[in-house]
Amino acid sequence: MLRNSVVVTGLGSVTSFGCGVEALWRGCLSGDDVTEPIPPGWSAYYTAASRKWAPLPPIDFQTHGFSRQDLLLMGMPSLLALSAAREAWLHATLPGDGKVEDAWRAGVFLGTGLGGAKAPFDNYRAHLLSGLKKRLEGALSMAPDDTLLAEHLSALQLHPRVHPLVICQTMPNAAAASLSIAFGIKGANETLSQACASGTVAIGRAYESIRRGELDIALAGGVEHLRDKAGGVFMGFDRLQTLARPMVGGEPENRPFDRRRSGFLFSEGGAGVLVLESATHARARGARVLAEIRGFGVNSDAHSMVALDEEGTAISRLYTEVLESAGLGCNDIDYINSHGTGTELNDSVESRLLERHFGQHPVVNSTKSILGHSIGASGALETIITVKSLEEQQVHTSCNLDDPIADLNFCLQSGPARIRHALTESFGFGGHNAVLILGRVLEDH
Amino acid sequence: MDKDSILATVRGLVAETLETDAGHVTAESRIREDLGADSMHVVTLIIALDEAFDAEFNLEEVPKDGVTVAWVADYVDRTLARAS
């Protein structure tokens, strides 16, 4: 480990397994099923082809140190990101008062795909229906015995309240700002939005900033929250035919890299936050190093808003550049945490490129085969899984992979693996490609 | 809801919003001058009123100075009467 290297010293997450990285890691090793039928109310607005999702469990934020005031003011992305950041902070054994030593040399880098999309959906839905409600009320006053009309009206009992902070809750940068305020961080405060690659890009940008010597320490990761009252985000992805559809016989539909895949499992969201530091900073304060970030790269397909470039020219170039910047060859990569969504084209292109560049040596899995796709949070959660895999020398199973589409070394059963270097990658709507390479750090370093 | 119940609820919400002991909050307490509420506290109180009384309260209708807990309770009472 070189003096100017960048290391990971803390991890925090909120996922369908609940709050905490340990719950996430154990859940992934067990391959536990987190899917549930979509909320019945969503079907009142739309008939979806996909029928399942991966919700978050109920979270009692007040037991996680949030005040009543926090809960009234903050949107879910801020609450989720702060929960994950507090865990990462404590995990990194940073000062208990929650403030950094040199606020100007600390940064926040947070990725999100849709920011606070839920806030306007929920706030303005009632207003869009209020005109209709007034007309029905007028009609009912003329015909008070019309029970069918009364029934229709009762279905529109939506109070047209607007939260005074709906704009702040909608801003994509609200979660990053919440972290900056909570931890007194005054250096960089950046929100990265590259759809499904957002979390990976955020961690990469933090890595670059520390490596250039601009910062000593950063909170970096991704957050997403996609549950709105009418299921508006879900229906958008469903309408685009990107979500996994029910299988005949009721078999699990979330099956990345399987021949019978039909789309990704929609996740309610979550948050993953890592503490990144310069090795010098970590060493000076006696922090335990979990992994080293060895390389990062990002580029763009310049091809389509929603589909990967089938040639994979940009991704191929990215592999070459990031490996070179890390001073590694393809054979040095022992584990690949794939993007692995379960969509027809994505898995086809990704598996072909992985096979071409890395062959059968690295063990490959898809964390989305368990958690589903949490868009802007996914890259951060998958980086956390990659750090845990390096640290514990174990790899979690890739679920529901009965008939693989490629001759890759897919992990079909969780277990031990010798991993020196690992690669994790994300590809986002709009053509964003991002790759991170991480390395194992032995205790005596 | 009668006026006494509204006042009791408002006192509780003010105490919760300002994270202060409910014993310090009386009907005569001025939320800014006596209890130290800043503009964010007032926004939070409005959200708490929205949620507790299932009605829409408007920041525009809250005077800048001299707002007592009793004034807030009376404002809630007037707003609920308007909505019904």
Question: At residue A129, does pLDDT exceed 90?
Answer: no
**Sequence ranges of the domains in chain A:** 16-116+171-439, 119-166
Measuring CA to CA, how many Å separate A112 from each of A166, A174, A342, A374?
A: 17, 10, 21, 10
pLDDT over 70, % of chain B = 100
Which pLDDT belongs to residue B83?
A: 76
Nearest to A256 by CA among A245, A264, A247, A267: A264
Q: Which residues of B touch A67 (CB under 8 A)?
A: 19
Q: Which residues of A touch B51 (CB under 8 A)?
A: 72
**Sequence ranges of the domains in chain B:** 3-83
Which pLDDT belongs to residue B56?
A: 83
Question: At residue A445, does pLDDT exceed 50?
Answer: no
Which pLDDT belongs to residue A275?
A: 98
- Check A69 against B44: CB less than 8 A apart: yes
Query: A339 an active-site residue?
Result: yes
Give the tokens for residue A128: 């869009």
Active-site residue set of B: 38
Which pLDDT belongs to residue A366?
A: 98
- Check B50 against A163: CB less than 8 A apart: yes
Name the minimum distance, in Å, from the CA of B7 to any CA of chain A: 20
- Check A159 against B44: CB less than 8 A apart: no
Number of Cβ atoms within 10 Å of the Cβ of A152: 15
Average pLDDT, chain A: 94
Which pLDDT belongs to residue A230?
A: 86
Q: Which residues of B touch A168 (CB under 8 A)?
A: none
Question: At residue A126, does pLDDT exceed 80?
Answer: no
pLDDT over 90, % of chain A = 82
Measuring CA to CA, how many Å separate A438 from each of A7, A382, A425, B22?
A: 9, 12, 11, 52
What HEC string does chain A produce?
Answer: CCCCCEEEEEEEEEECCEECHHHHHHHHHHCCCCCEECCHHHHHCCCCCCCEEECCCCCCHHHHCCCHHHHHHCCHHHHHHHHHHHHHHHHCCCCCCCCCCCHHHEEEEEECCCCCCHHHHHHHHHHHHHHHHHHHHHHHHHCCCCHHHHHHHHCCCCCCCCCCCHHHHHCCCHHHHHHHHHHCCCCCEEEECCHHHHHHHHHHHHHHHHHCCCCCEEEEEEEEECCCCCCHHHHHHHHCCCECCCCHHHCCCCCCCECCCCCECEECEEEEEEEEEEHHHHHHCCCCCCEEEEEEEEEECCCCCCCCCCCCHHHHHHHHHHHHHHCCCHHHEEEEECCCCCCHHHHHHHHHHHHHHHCCCCEEECCHHHHCECHHHHHHHHHHHHHHHHHHCEECCCCCCCCECCCCEECCCCEECCCCEEEEEEEECCCEEEEEEEECCCCCC
> What confidence tens digit (pLDDT) does each residue in A350-392 have?
999 999 999 999 999 999 999 999 999 999 999 999 999 999 9
- Check A73 against B56: CB less than 8 A apart: no
A47 touches chain B (CB under 8 A): no
Q: Does domain A16-116+171-439 have CATH number 3.40.47.10?
A: yes
- Check A68 against B16: CB less than 8 A apart: yes
Q: Residue B17 is nearest to which of A69, A161, A162, comparing CB atoms? A: A69
- Check B44 against A72: CB less than 8 A apart: yes
Query: A281 an active-site residue?
Result: no
Q: Which residues of A touch B17 (CB under 8 A)?
A: 68-69, 72
CATH for the B3-83 domain, from 3.40.1360.10, 3.40.50.1240, 1.10.3720.10, 1.10.1200.10: 1.10.1200.10
Instruction: Please state the rounded mean pLDDT for residues A35-58.
Output: 93
Name the minimum distance, in Å, from the CA of B4 to any CA of chain A: 24
- Check B40 against A72: CB less than 8 A apart: no
> What confidence tens digit (pLDDT) does each residue in B13-53 have?
999 999 899 899 999 999 999 999 999 899 999 999 988 99
> What confidence tens digit (pLDDT) does each residue in A200-244 have?
999 999 999 999 999 999 999 999 999 998 899 999 999 999 999
Instruction: Please state the rounded mean pLDDT for residues A73-88.
Output: 96
Q: Which residues of B touch A164 (CB under 8 A)?
A: 43, 46-47, 59
Instruction: Please state the rounded mean pLDDT for residues A36-58.
Output: 93
Q: What sign results for the dihedral spanned by CA atoms B16, B17, B19, B24?
A: negative
Q: Residue B54 is nearest to which of A68, A159, A165, comparing CB atoms? A: A159
ipTM: 0.78
Determine the residue among A62, A71, A123, A161 to mutate to test chain B binding: the one whose Cβ has the most chain B Cβ atoms within 10 Å: A161
- Check A164 against B56: CB less than 8 A apart: no
Name the minimum distance, in Å, from the CA of B44 to any CA of chain A: 7
Q: Which residues of A touch B41 (CB under 8 A)?
A: 69
Name the minimum distance, in Å, from the CA of B3 to any CA of chain A: 23
